[in-house]
């Protein structure tokens, strides 16, 4: 399970969240592991992009796919459940 909780993410600005994903390797790898384990084909492909991305491109990916990033950062169930997604507009 990721070290980030919904409560911690809800208190962050999106810019800070993007920086975490871009520069904190442990956070990024937690997210990628969840994407590869629980995601569908698209999310698994997105995880591969994050693995290959440098910090600048990881930041771009996080901006473009905010909902997916947040969902898999706080993943806490092994079965897909749409209610786990956090609306980035609420941040």
Span 2-26, pLDDT tens digits: 567 777 777 788 888 888 888 888 8
In a domain, 62, yes or no: yes
Higher-confidence residue: 76 or 78? 76
Provide the domain count of the chain: 1
Residue 80 within a domain: no
Determine, yes or no, domain membership for 84.
Answer: no
- Residue 10: the pLDDT is 74
Best CA proximity match to 31, nearest among 91, 75, 73, 62: 73
Query: And the tokens for 7?
Result: 């409560």
C-alpha dihedral (62, 63, 67, 68), degrees to nearest 10: -30
pLDDT value, residue 1? 44
Task: Report how far residue 89's alpha carbon sits from residue 16's, in angstroms, rounded to the nearest whole number.
Answer: 15
What residues make up the domain containing 68?
6-73
| Residue 44 in domain | yes
A 10 A CB-CB count for 26 gives: 10
Residue 39 lies in a domain: yes
Element (H, E) at 25: helix 25-38
């Amino acid at each position: 399970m990721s070290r980030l909780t919904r409560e911690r993410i809800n208190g962050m600005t999106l810019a800070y969240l993007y920086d975490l994903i871009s520069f904190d390797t442990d956070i990024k790898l937690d997210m990628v592991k969840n994407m590869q384990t629980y995601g569908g084909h698209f999310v698994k492909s997105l995880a591969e992009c994050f693995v290959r991305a440098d910090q600048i491109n990881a930041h771009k990916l996080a901006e473009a796919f905010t909902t997916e990033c947040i969902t898999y950062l706080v993943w806490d169930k092994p079965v897909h459940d749409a209610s786990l997604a956090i609306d980035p507009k609420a941040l």
